[in-house]
A and B are shown apart, each in its own frame.
Chain A
Amino acid sequence: MSLLIKFINRAVDSGLIIKLLKKLPFISRLLVVAAIALIFGYLPLDGSFRRTYISENALMPNQAYSQFRETEWNIVRGFRNEIKDLKVWNIDIRNKIVSNWLQDYSLETSIYKTNIISDVSGDHNSEVLYGILNGQRCDGTEAMVICAPWFNSEMEYNVGGVSVAIALTRFFTNWPIWSKNIILVIPETPGVDLRKWVESYHNELKLTGGTIESAMVLDYPSESDSFDYLDVEYIGLNGALPNLDLVNTALHIAENEGIKISINGMKSFEKDQNNFKNRLHHISNGIQKMAMAGLYPLKGHEAFSGWRIQAITLKAVGNSGNHDITTFGRVPEAVTRSVNNLLEKFHQSFFFYLLLSPKLFVSIASYLPAAILVTVAFAGMSIDSLTKTNILKNDAVETFDFEIIVALVFYLISIALSLSYSKIINLLRNKNLNFDQQGKFLLIIQVFFLFTSYMIYKPTKKTYHMLKSIAFMHLSLVLTLLLALNFGLAFIMGVLAFPMTFIDFEKENKTKQRLLLLVSNPFIAIFCMCSWIEDKWTWTIFNVMSSSWENLGCWTWPIVCCSWLTTWILLVIASGYSPSNEKKRM
């Protein structure tokens, strides 16, 4: 410790610290560049990633021969014909019929009714059918979920998925090997109703089968016997990822069955994993999905995140190809048998990772520094502004003077304002605007606020720097809070908000500064990013964000409102400052 203090003293004496403090804006820009370079330049490079492996020995994927073969073919087809005919009926009749089938196979079934209030998809009633197959060697404390929604995320009738799920469960009843319960869940859609079911499974449902260890959502919308390739989705809400072992197990099994595999809808089988560009493509797609989970129609596995459930979605894409529907069924069969082997919960392998291809990954230690660098960059900008207020100097007698208290009061006001912003969509909802108009209205408010506020209030120099300092420190702290929870969101928020740090109202060219503020406005930046990704104007994105916070518990909306927006409002308040005005005051 004394050595460290000696070192610091020497650094102070030599004036190094002062020099560094002067260079802080440059350093923090350098840090952000380094962060971006780390993610998009270094990670996809050879030597910075590893090949995936099964870490938990008990899993033993595909060690046993998969039995879901020709014998079951006609059974699957039979179910498929029946289910195809069920499409015309309402959900309650469909569920009643399927529930009768399941009861014939000695499953205990129950129907969970829920009422969904959502302004995006509209209010409606929905119900979830679920049945529990009691494992013969099971003490009823653990369970595995197989889920097949009636309609998938694209609102196609999931005829293959439901029939495979039912046939598979029927097939499982013949086996004496299950040491965990198997729960078959059939919701109407993989979205809010499934989420509500998972929520009430952990709170109030009468018929339960123990803690859910793993969940697989089967998605096979085509009526054809064959499919092109298998797509595995795994990125959950709020940055939750399933244990890498489960993803690996599924991919490993599918590959052993000879199926072409893909992750996150990337068609990975077409892309050579030895190619830098393909790995880069996978990593950027992964980060983007992590940040925006919950803003698109749910695939299904997202509904399970937050309860220590490892969940993935298996989606069969296409209707030609060499793989037939029982091959698709053998993947969940083998995964279920692997998970069945587990003696402990998933704890080996990684919970934080990015996949660069189905077989390559980087763990948290490699990519987390990028998010840390971004937060440090914001903290650096904050300290830079703080040094300009002179309150760090030891000779300042009055640490708290009026100008600083003004800044603190503005901080409290902007927090209150941004908290109320999270409700603004709810206020707009009841007016006679449609979703597009609501989104446009919100964006126009931002522009209006930006270009009028400086006429009302003009801060003094000290207040201006203090406001900036508080703003950047606030964002830096929120990013720190997020970086282990939801890396993707923290990183993307940090990078998109970074243009804020370039603003400097001590310069006379105000228009450029205002444009920078405009670009870094949370709503405008998010809108532009989503429109760019979707390749169309996504005016409804704010309604989607708000409703996914209310219905799914997806944090993106409150976090954007309470961190980025607060910072932005503070900077807009600070934007009234101009040096010429200051001279007049003197």
Chain B
Amino acid sequence: MAVLFSLFTLIVVVSTRYFLIPSLLGLDSNANLLQYLDVLFNTPYTSYKTLKECIIMLNYNGNSNLGSNLNQAPLYVSFFNVIPERLHFYIFCLFDIGSFYYIIQITNNRNEKELGPNSSIKLILYLLNPLIYINLLMKTTFVIIQFCIIMAIYHIQQSKSTKSINIAALMFAVVTYLDIYNLGLVLVLFNFIKDNKSLFLASYGSVFTIFMAVSFKLQPTFIMNNIVSKILFKEQYPNIGLWWYFFIEMFQEYRDFFKFVFNCYCYIFVLPIFIRFKNYSLQAFVILFTWITAFKPYPTIGELGFILLVFVYWFDLRIIEHKLIMCLLIIHSIILLPVFYHLWITIGSGNSNFFYALTLVYVVSVVLILLGMIKSVLYWEYEDDHQIVSTENKSETEINKQEKLNLVSVQ
């Protein structure tokens, strides 16, 4: 009976999530309501539109070196070039199912520290997460990045076998290949591995080099178009990141300096987080990912969807305060961002300041989440250091009076 029921649920989920709603909305996300959310989910480096552009240029005279707007990675483009266009969405769906499967796997072997909602609720949270779902409908690169991240984490948690390490290394090579800003996360991945660190490094390095070499063979300009232009803020469309606004205001002479500063800022906490949260590798990974997402040049809301999901999964929500403020900030910024973008770009009655102000609010909300994550990890660490068995045995007031206020002085 239980099998029948789960089968039935699976059928319902698959049919609504991958067939019913997309067909109701229409598959072309530029023609339906989703076009208003375009600025939130798409950047030139992740959008489906640039992927299609790249595919057309690839087939155009066989010369794919034309133009500086071919911002997608060549192997990614070649992969989708093989598949007929009407099946593209279902390929993304497969990746979505994959991340769903590995989320289940990770949830099944969770450790006792995680006291969040139980596993069936966790699965519902994944399925009902609107940001992840719209990201899927938009067919952005991040659907694949998300799958690879989740799979890499799953495999690296079982770091005893060489096979798992190799798979994790392969997956993470894909992640860094698709978005070079994830490079810093590789360092944090070493926290997961007790021994065999050199194996991970070797297999990751070789796979990544092979990817780069093959891409370079396919399309030598990709380093310029994909990697360098991302780092040097070449495609300055408005996005939800913090930095684009500076470059529409700034004199040419100062730009190089600020490009350097902003990139440094994005990467400044890689080493500290790696060292500080050595014992909480999963949490350290998420914290660093959140930091990079908040401050990289081309972030998307799809990444926030993933962050929110794992925030609920892998952190102790009971320790984190101001959840209500966090929720309200996120919801309001996500609602108002497209409105102000619409006012500025379409109607023409607002201007860029409106939109940028809201991106500031958005980043504040992301940073609040980041603070919550760090607080949660610090609290666990404090518990472990002082051999506090469990918070559940004590009354709420006691915890408030003693441990919570001591948090600031945690060593």
Tell me whether A400 and B121 are in contact in the complex, defined as CB-CB below 8 angstroms, given that A392-B324, A394-B318, A481-B335 are known contacts. yes
Q: Complex formed: what's the CA distance from A293 to B318 in Å?
A: 48
User: Does A434 count as interface, using CB distance less than 8 angstroms?
Assistant: no
Q: A383 contacts B349, CB within 8 Å? A: no
> How many interface contacts (CB-CB < 8 Å) are there between A and B?
47
User: Does B84 count as interface, using CB distance less than 8 angstroms?
Assistant: no
Q: Complex formed: what's the CA distance from A352 to B328 in Å?
A: 26
Q: Complex formed: what's the CA distance from A240 to B319 in Å?
A: 46
User: Does A250 count as interface, using CB distance less than 8 angstroms?
Assistant: no
User: Does A33 count as interface, using CB distance less than 8 angstroms?
Assistant: no
Q: Complex formed: what's the CA distance from A394 to B124 in Å?
A: 22
Q: Complex formed: what's the CA distance from A392 to B335 in Å?
A: 23
Q: List 16 A-B contacts (CB under 8 A).
A: A8-B322, A241-B349, A351-B349, A379-B328, A394-B396, A395-B396, A398-B117, A477-B332, A480-B332, A480-B335, A480-B336, A484-B336, A484-B339, A484-B343, A485-B342, A485-B343
Q: Complex formed: what's the CA distance from A519 to B319 in Å?
A: 43
User: Does A306 count as interface, using CB distance less than 8 angstroms?
Assistant: yes
User: Does A388 count as interface, using CB distance less than 8 angstroms?
Assistant: no
Closest to A6 in B: B408
Q: A484 contacts B340, CB within 8 Å? A: yes
Q: Complex formed: what's the CA distance from A121 to B342 in Å?
A: 32
Q: B349 contacts A399, CB within 8 Å? A: no
Tell me whether A240 and B349 are in contact in the complex, defined as CB-CB below 8 angstroms, given that A379-B328, A383-B324, A477-B332 are known contacts. yes
- The B50-79 residues at the A interface (CB cut-off 8 A) are none
* Residue interface bits A381-408, CB-to-B below 8 A is 1, else 0: 0010010000010110011100000000
Q: A352 contacts B349, CB within 8 Å? A: yes
Q: Complex formed: what's the CA distance from A395 to B398 in Å?
A: 13
User: Does B347 count as interface, using CB distance less than 8 angstroms?
Assistant: yes
Q: A308 contacts B348, CB within 8 Å? A: yes
Q: Complex formed: what's the CA distance from A400 to B312 in Å?
A: 12
CB-defined contacts of A398 to chain B, threshold 8 Å: 117
In the assembled complex, the CB of A365 is this many whole angstroms from the nearest CB of chain B, namely 12
| Number of B residues, CB within 8 Å of A | 24
CB-defined contacts of A485 to chain B, threshold 8 Å: 339, 342-343
Interface hub of A9, A383, A480, A484 (most chain B Cβ within 10 A): A484
CB-defined contacts of B331 to chain A, threshold 8 Å: 477
Q: Complex formed: what's the CA distance from A383 to B325 in Å?
A: 11
User: Does B94 count as interface, using CB distance less than 8 angstroms?
Assistant: no
Q: A240 contacts B350, CB within 8 Å? A: no
- The A445-494 residues at the B interface (CB cut-off 8 A) are 477, 480-481, 484-485
CB-defined contacts of A394 to chain B, threshold 8 Å: 318-319, 396
Q: Complex formed: what's the CA distance from A308 to B347 in Å?
A: 6
Q: B318 contacts A484, CB within 8 Å? A: no
Q: B396 contacts A351, CB within 8 Å? A: no
* Residue interface bits B330-360, CB-to-A below 8 A is 1, else 0: 0110011001101100011110001000000
User: Does B317 count as interface, using CB distance less than 8 angstroms?
Assistant: yes
Q: Complex formed: what's the CA distance from A9 to B375 in Å?
A: 15
In the assembled complex, the CB of A339 is this many whole angstroms from the nearest CB of chain B, namely 16
Shortest Cβ-Cβ A-B pairs, 10 listed: A351-B349, A308-B348, A394-B318, A400-B121, A481-B335, A395-B396, A481-B339, A477-B335, A399-B117, A480-B335
CB-defined contacts of B121 to chain A, threshold 8 Å: 399-400
CB-defined contacts of B340 to chain A, threshold 8 Å: 484
- The A1-47 residues at the B interface (CB cut-off 8 A) are 8-9
Q: A484 contacts B324, CB within 8 Å? A: no
CB-defined contacts of A9 to chain B, threshold 8 Å: 405
Q: A484 contacts B332, CB within 8 Å? A: no
CB-defined contacts of A383 to chain B, threshold 8 Å: 324
By a beta-carbon cutoff of 8 Å, the part of chain A in contact with chain B is: 8-9, 240-241, 306, 308, 345, 351-352, 379, 383, 386, 392, 394-395, 398-400, 477, 480-481, 484-485
Closest to A393 in B: B396
Q: Complex formed: what's the CA distance from A351 to B328 in Å?
A: 28
In the assembled complex, the CB of A569 is this many whole angstroms from the nearest CB of chain B, namely 20
Q: Complex formed: what's the CA distance from A476 to B347 in Å?
A: 24
Closest to B348 in A: A308
Q: Complex formed: what's the CA distance from A386 to B331 in Å?
A: 16
Closest to A396 in B: B318
Q: B117 contacts A400, CB within 8 Å? A: yes
Q: Complex formed: what's the CA distance from A308 to B344 in Å?
A: 10
In the assembled complex, the CB of A516 is this many whole angstroms from the nearest CB of chain B, namely 26
CB-defined contacts of A484 to chain B, threshold 8 Å: 336, 339-340, 343, 350, 354
- The B293-349 residues at the A interface (CB cut-off 8 A) are 317-319, 322-324, 328, 331-332, 335-336, 339-340, 342-343, 347-349
CB-defined contacts of A351 to chain B, threshold 8 Å: 348-350
Q: B317 contacts A399, CB within 8 Å? A: yes
In the assembled complex, the CB of A310 is this many whole angstroms from the nearest CB of chain B, namely 10
In the assembled complex, the CB of A312 is this many whole angstroms from the nearest CB of chain B, namely 15
Q: Complex formed: what's the CA distance from A175 to B396 in Å?
A: 84
Q: A306 contacts B347, CB within 8 Å? A: yes
Interface hub of B318, B332, B348, B405 (most chain A Cβ within 10 A): B348
* Residue interface bits B107-131, CB-to-A below 8 A is 1, else 0: 0000000000100010000000000
Q: Complex formed: what's the CA distance from A477 to B336 in Å?
A: 9
CB-defined contacts of B117 to chain A, threshold 8 Å: 398-400
CB-defined contacts of B323 to chain A, threshold 8 Å: 392
In the assembled complex, the CB of A17 is this many whole angstroms from the nearest CB of chain B, namely 11
Q: Complex formed: what's the CA distance from A468 to B319 in Å?
A: 27
In the assembled complex, the CB of A14 is this many whole angstroms from the nearest CB of chain B, namely 13
Interface hub of B317, B343, B349, B354 (most chain A Cβ within 10 A): B349
Closest to A400 in B: B121
Q: A481 contacts B348, CB within 8 Å? A: no
Closest to A408 in B: B128
In the assembled complex, the CB of A252 is this many whole angstroms from the nearest CB of chain B, namely 22
CB-defined contacts of A392 to chain B, threshold 8 Å: 323-324
CB-defined contacts of A241 to chain B, threshold 8 Å: 349
In the assembled complex, the CB of B30 is this many whole angstroms from the nearest CB of chain A, namely 15
Q: B336 contacts A481, CB within 8 Å? A: yes
Q: Complex formed: what's the CA distance from A468 to B396 in Å?
A: 28
Closest to A9 in B: B405
Q: Complex formed: what's the CA distance from A352 to B335 in Å?
A: 20
CB-defined contacts of B322 to chain A, threshold 8 Å: 8
* Residue interface bits B177-217, CB-to-A below 8 A is 1, else 0: 00000000000000000000000000000000000000000
In the assembled complex, the CB of A400 is this many whole angstroms from the nearest CB of chain B, namely 5
Q: Complex formed: what's the CA distance from A241 to B396 in Å?
A: 55
Q: Complex formed: what's the CA distance from A175 to B97 in Å?
A: 68
In the assembled complex, the CB of A383 is this many whole angstroms from the nearest CB of chain B, namely 7
Closest to A241 in B: B349
In the assembled complex, the CB of A330 is this many whole angstroms from the nearest CB of chain B, namely 29
Q: Complex formed: what's the CA distance from A334 to B350 in Å?
A: 28
Q: Complex formed: what's the CA distance from A386 to B328 in Å?
A: 13
Q: Complex formed: what's the CA distance from A485 to B347 in Å?
A: 10
Interface hub of A240, A345, A352, A394 (most chain B Cβ within 10 A): A394
CB-defined contacts of A399 to chain B, threshold 8 Å: 117, 121, 317
In the assembled complex, the CB of B378 is this many whole angstroms from the nearest CB of chain A, namely 14
In the assembled complex, the CB of A235 is this many whole angstroms from the nearest CB of chain B, namely 13
New A-B contacts (17) at CB < 8 Å, excluding given A400-B117, A484-B339, A484-B354: A240-B347, A241-B349, A351-B349, A352-B349, A379-B328, A383-B324, A392-B324, A394-B319, A394-B396, A399-B121, A477-B335, A480-B332, A480-B336, A481-B335, A484-B336, A484-B343, A485-B343
CB-defined contacts of A480 to chain B, threshold 8 Å: 332, 335-336
CB-defined contacts of B339 to chain A, threshold 8 Å: 481, 484-485
Closest to B338 in A: A481
Closest to A350 in B: B349
Closest to B125 in A: A400
In the assembled complex, the CB of A183 is this many whole angstroms from the nearest CB of chain B, namely 19
Closest to A243 in B: B349
CB-defined contacts of A400 to chain B, threshold 8 Å: 117, 121
In the assembled complex, the CB of A212 is this many whole angstroms from the nearest CB of chain B, namely 12
Q: Complex formed: what's the CA distance from A395 to B349 in Å?
A: 48
In the assembled complex, the CB of B284 is this many whole angstroms from the nearest CB of chain A, namely 22
Q: Complex formed: what's the CA distance from A352 to B354 in Å?
A: 13
Q: Complex formed: what's the CA distance from A25 to B296 in Å?
A: 42
In the assembled complex, the CB of B234 is this many whole angstroms from the nearest CB of chain A, namely 27
